[in-house]
Amino acid sequence: MASVIVGSLVWVEDPDIAWIDGEVVEVNGEDIKVLCTSGKMVVVKASNVYPKDAEAPPCGVDDMTKLAYLHEPGVLQNLRSRYDMNEIYTYTGNILIAVNPFRKLPHLYDSHMMAQYKGAAFGELSPHPFAVADAAYRQMINEGLSQSILVSGESGAGKTESTKLLMRYLAYMGGRAAAEGRTVEQQVLESNPVLEAFGNAKTVRNNNSSRFGKFVEIQFDRRGKISGAAIRTYLLERSRVCQVSDPERNYHCFYMLCAAPTEDIQRYKLGNPRTFHYLNQSNCYELDGIDDSKEYIATRRAMDVVGIGSDEQDAIFRVVAAVLHLGNIEFTKGKEIDSSVPKDEKSWFHLRTAAELLMCDEMLLEDSLCKRVIVTRDETITKWLDPEAAALSRDALAKIVYSRLFDWIVDKINSSIGQDPDSKFLIGVLDIYGFESFKTNSFEQFCINLTNEKLQQHFNQHVFKMEQEEYTKEEINWSYIEFVDNQDVLDLIEKKPGGIIALLDEACMFPRSTHETFAQKLYQTFKNHKRFSKPKLSRSDFTICHYAGDVTYQTELFLDKNKDYVVAEHQALLSASKCSFVSGLFPPLAEESSKSSKFSSIGSRFKQQLQALLETLSSTEPHYMRCVKPNNLLKPAIFENKNILQQLRCGGVMEAIRISCAGYPTRKPFDEFVDRFGLLAPDALDGSSDEVAACKKLLEKVGLQGYQIGKAKVFLRAGQMAELDARRTEVLGKSASIIQRKIRSYLARRSFIVLRRSALHIQSACRGQLARKVYESLRREAASLRIQRDLRMHLARKAYKKLCSSSVSIQTGMRGMAARNELRFRRQTKAAIIIQSQCRKYVARLHYLKLKKAAIATQCAWRGRLARKELRKLKMAARETGALQAAKNKLEKQVEELTWRLQLEKRMRVDMEEAKAQENMKLQSALQDIQLQFKETKELLAKEREAAKRAAEVVPVIQEVPVVDNAMLEKLTSENEKLKAMVSTLEKKIDETEKKFEETNKISEERLKQAMEAESKIVQLKTVMHRLEEKISDMESENQVLRQQTLLNSPVKKSLDHPPIPVISNLENGHHMDEGNKSNELQMVTPVKKVGTESDGKPRRPNLERQHENVDALINCVAKNIGFSNGKPIAAFTIYKCLLHWKSFEAERTNVFDRLIQMIGSAIENEEDNSHMSYWLSNTSALLFLLQKSLKAAGSSGSTPNRKPPTSTSLFGRMTMGFRSSPSSNNLPAAAALAVVRQVEAKYPALLFKQQLAAYVEKIYGIIRDNLKKELSSLLSLCIQAPRTSKGSVLRSGRSFGKDSPSTHWQSIIDSLNTLLSTLKENFVPPVLVQKIFTQTFSYINVQLFNSLLLRRECCTFSNGEYVKAGLAELELWCAQAKEEYAGSSWDELKHIRQAVGFLVIHQKYRISYDEITNDLCPILSVQQLYRICTLYWDDNYNTRSVSPDVISSMRILMTEDSNDAVGNSFLLDDNSSIPFSVDDLSNSLQEKDFLEVKPAEELLENPAFLFLHE
């Protein structure tokens, strides 16, 4: 390290924690003495220390390329600082480093977080897997290139979880809308739990370690939607099926199946996992926090989603159970030499069960395990296997069965998901094992480390390419940078011929080869290779020098694990299985393939898969995610430096840093460089406004060589940053000396002044003390005299009181003794009396009890006698029960007969009623003719006429009295020609009719019910008529009232003259009109579909055409912008007046409402024009208000069929009442308002129109609000961060390097708000809607600013807080100017960002307690939000500290307690896009009187058909 001086802060290597920081206290040439922060003193070489950045933020940086010193200790410290704050993600360029927190952090991965990262530029927000996935997705869409995301890390680092997050985000971005069936993205996501169940297991380092590599290809169509997917797996760890070391576990599916429901366990004949050999080799059976029974159900459900049917699921778990039973088969020596048989009955049971589950022959299974068939040229030889070989054969069968099962599941998932042959792009997510180095490293570790060597080479090339692109982008001169290439290691392993894999395949092909001969071959071949070595104390091990370190491999099992062939007996056994699923796992081999390739190598096959993977990755644009495990205890809040450093080396992060250091490792933006090193050359900044020129002058002044000036950054060589910092430290040290000298002078003078003032205070205090002592002695003397006097008085008084008390006590004792003697005598006398009375009472009671006992005995004897007599009577009655039963049966028959007769009589009565009904109809028609010809006959029927009049008074239209007249006059119809002779005959017929009337009285009751319904309708019609009559103008004369009275009575007379239902030619609002008014009313009739007969269809046709013309004229007029009248929309008022006059609201059928809705819908198609949308919002809301006040449902009046009409039945009477009330001055506004808005009983079309209109009001409101949000969204992203300024230039030249004024963006927001407000005011939008628009907009501003503050560290600064606070002050001023009428509670909606910004600009935060923050400063913010702000905060102006560590600890404890609450953990806010008002809110904000002075459309006033608008 260059330029090390006393006082420099450095990093020193430490054997315990890797690196420790300290301060240089002494420099002796190359030897440096450092005082570490731990307190110990160390002496190290100058070349072995690294500089420490004293100005590095305590919470670290989110991108480590921003570090001033990019070296191992700096990277390690940055990761640790962020991990302590639960910031588990950090960038290194475009590489994401993820440190496993070992705890649930659901708030980091919810849908709100995905929405925040959607479309955000890479690096703009905090580091996150969503940012990597979004960058890959955007690059794929924008550039049309396939992408890949490589997730690596050692077991337990969180690769699988990170992969799930990446796939979840890609499914979020490329997912289709909800449709029928399972979507591709659902199947891809649900494939994870299925593969985890069969491919993951607990290891020493991880409870859910993936024991296979996985590459998921997600295919996208041209629109960026997921169209297909494929999953490729690599190198499943087969040996784990049979061999498990403590405290690891086998694959999860075995334990899930043992915890399955009881019926499944019984079906597969399973039990406790401790009873199975393949599971009980380890003492670990359960995992903390994992319920295997629930996992079994979840895995089944996931299988359903990915397309594995229930039959296939049963077959899968049947095979898994068979593997467990195979493991429990033990062997012992048989009768033959070197033979073997199942050991005992337990082994036979498991053998039979395995055969049953695999659906194969039991004996064939035994032979395949215990025998081998050797086919020679001449004969076939059957060879027995000893117990050891049989056990190996059993394990081989279990491994190959499980391996084939896993491959089948992967193939099934791929076939179910399906691949899109037309897909143009794909994003591949690689989740593969990290570099492994254990005490014992076998063939699996060899293949895993080969994979990592290949991926490291790919990674190095990518990092080098990124470095070159960075230099090219900044347009600086650069030379070729060398980096260590690991191609020699790859050649050592996979080169053909002569590589380790080739030699291993060669050894496997010779039957007599052993691991020792294989090792000797390796030693001979690679004895001079620099990457290969032989351990000294081993015969068969070898060591390879990988990029991450040396790894020693044990070759004992290399040959066995490399062989990839199926024993012929096993193949024949399982391919002949009766289960199609099992036989499908082992399809018969073709003869040609079996003869040509008898040997298959796992190593060679894996190498080919790896090559194909690298080719795929090379054809895509890579993105890297390195997962790191902070400790081996798998516990949170533990950060082991050495462990992490090793993982960073294995993950290639240190290699990437080394590549960066080979070029220009330090890259500082111009403003930061000037701010930091401007004090080295103050004269270079004087009067300068150009940062680039200032940087050049500064570097020339200090004399650095080899640096580069880019377009936006200064590029420094390795060591140059330390040299600049050393010079800066020297300048600061000199400045500190001057400051110290001045401070010491000031302190000495202040000390002298304090000392002199203290001497004066001491002198005055001594004099005062002496005076107080003299005064005290005099005071004590006076007090002693007073005490003596008071004491003598007290003693005398005490002697007197004692004598007095003694005399009183003697008197009291004597008097008490006398009283007690008297009391004793009285008690004795009273006791004697009581004893005497009790004795006498006892004698009397004894005599009474004897008499009572004798009386009771006498009564009991008599009652017993009577009871026996009654019993004899009951027995006699019981004998007569048979006779009673017969009588009962007889009565039942009589009842049945009577019931039948009653039903018959009812039918006869119904027939009679029908006949009488027909007869009544004839009588009615006859009566109508007779009434016109024979008035003298009516005189004979005077009594019946009076009854008819009484009925007519209650229900004028109901004609029930003529029923009596018809019956009486039935016989008169035949004597019309002889009038005088018929009078006497009618008198006789009257008598007969009276009798028939009594018989038909019951029939009339049913008709009366129907008449009552008609009566209720008439009452409703009369009520409407009364309402219309009351609204007639006060200026109408009495003659007009009388004419309308005759008009009202004319339909009643017609109905009396014509009892059958008349044909209604014109019906409007339920009223009948006479012929005189028809011609006047035709032009005012709405296009209502009226019900009539065919005879009136022709005269109505021209009327309908005229009505349609009127509607067309109305719509053509209001479709234009016809403006406003007295602050109210003319179009809405005109529409309402026309609909009210046409009585469309009361029509059963009409198309005018549909025409109006279509007109409004077409008018608001241009959603971008806020002025146009505001005009229609004003019209629709006003029309909705008028409808809300005017319309009421038909059944809402509360009238019942029996309800009487209003008291004043006479129209003239009601009008005179109106005349009396009209002069009242208090009722004038209400009466005028009623003239504008009238209540009518609406039918279904009108109510539906009201609902549709309310929907349009909400839609237009939402469009205006969303337009404003879109306009503000681009500005808000600029308002959250203050423009960068250079402190040096501000201090010296008074000018800022920033081009934009800080208030420019905020002023743009104010302008947008003012523009919309003026537009809404010009269109007279109701203030309540304006309030809601701005309230929701301010809520949106609050959400966007606050979320950006929490997601971007550069925003959580002191200067940025001041900038945002100034902008919020502008918004507060706008709210005050807009007034509460329009702004409402908008300012209150900014409470989150106001409190957060208020906290940022507070000085001395470290003195504030947690209670003060939560109760006083930020009561509305949650613990998660406060913790986020406190940990992200850094002061770019004054270098002030954030809150104290105690406050951070308190917040962390509270967050840990609430970690299970996913909702509570979310620190982001949600934007509320609901409609915040109802129709009632709109109605309450307006009044009917506001429409009094509104004038209709002038265009319609000229039309003769709209003359009613003049009223």
Do residues 397 and 326 lie in contact, with contact meaning Cβ atoms separated by under 8 Å? yes
Annotation marks residue 434 as catalytic: yes
How many Å apart are CA 499 and CA 519, to the nearest integer? Answer: 13
**SS3 string of 87-152?**
CCEEEECCEEEEECCCCCCHHHCCHHHHHHHCCCCCCCCCCCHHHHHHHHHHHHHHHCCCEEEEEE
Annotation marks residue 1439 as catalytic: no
The dihedral formed by the CA atoms of 1485, 1491, 1495 and 1497, expressed in degrees to the nearest 10: 50
With tokens 């007090």, the residue in question is 783
How many Cα atoms sit within 13 Å of 1504 on the Cβ side? 4
Count of CB atoms situated within 10 Å of the CB of 5 = 12
Give burial (CB, 10 Å; 0-12/13-18/19+) of 82: buried
How many Cα atoms sit within 13 Å of 147 on the Cβ side? 23
How many Å apart are CA 979 and CA 617, to the nearest integer? Answer: 119
Spot the catalytic one: 8, 81, 160, 340: 160
Q: What is the dihedral sign for C-alpha 1381, 1386, 1388, 1389?
A: positive
Burial profile 628-647: b = 16 or more Cβ within 10 angstroms, e = fewer: bbbbeebebeebbbebbbbb
Count of CB atoms situated within 10 Å of the CB of 1268 = 20
Annotation marks residue 123 as catalytic: no
Annotation marks residue 209 as catalytic: yes
With tokens 């994401």, the residue in question is 96
How many Å apart are CA 301 and CA 303, to the nearest integer? Answer: 5
Instruction: List the structure tokens of 650.
Output: 């294995």
Instruction: List the structure tokens of 404.
Output: 């084939």
Residues paired with 1240 in a beta bridge: 1191
Instruction: List the structure tokens of 1128.
Output: 């109210």
Annotation marks residue 210 as catalytic: yes
Do residues 1029 and 1215 lie in contact, with contact meaning Cβ atoms separated by under 8 Å? yes
Annotation marks residue 540 as catalytic: no
Do residues 1283 and 1306 lie in contact, with contact meaning Cβ atoms separated by under 8 Å? no
Q: Which amino acid is at 1038?
A: E
How many Å apart are CA 250 and CA 991, to the nearest integer? Answer: 109
Q: Which amino acid is at 983?
A: V
Count of CB atoms situated within 10 Å of the CB of 1072 = 19
Beta strands in 1052-1103 (DSSP E): 1067-1068, 1071-1072
Instruction: List the structure tokens of 1170.
Output: 């806020």
How many Å apart are CA 467 and CA 664, to the nearest integer? Answer: 9
How many Å apart are CA 753 and CA 746, to the nearest integer? Answer: 11
Annotation marks residue 1386 as catalytic: no
Annotation marks residue 428 as catalytic: no
Instruction: List the structure tokens of 1038.
Output: 């009495």
Q: What angle do CA 797, 801, 806 make, to 5 degrees?
A: 155
How many Å apart are CA 1268 and CA 1280, to the nearest integer? Answer: 18
Spot the catalytic one: 156, 678, 1367, 1384: 156
Spot the catalytic one: 8, 90, 152, 206: 206
Spot the catalytic one: 210, 688, 1170, 1339: 210
Q: Which of 43, 54, 56 is nearest to 10 (CA)?
A: 54
Spot the catalytic one: 92, 163, 200, 209: 209
Q: Which of 1304, 1096, 1264 is nearest to 1170 (CA)?
A: 1264
Q: Which of 20, 8, 6 is nearest to 725 (CA)?
A: 8
Do residues 696 and 717 lie in contact, with contact meaning Cβ atoms separated by under 8 Å? no
Pairing relation of β-strands 31-36 and 41-45?
Answer: antiparallel
Spot the catalytic one: 60, 434, 651, 652: 434
Spot the catalytic one: 436, 723, 1015, 1271: 436
Task: Report residue 430: phi and psi, to 5°.
Answer: -100, 115
Count of CB atoms situated within 10 Å of the CB of 819 = 10
Residues paired with 90 in a beta bridge: 97
Pairing relation of β-strands 713-716 and 666-669?
Answer: antiparallel
Report the catalytic residues.
155-156, 160, 206, 209-210, 434, 436
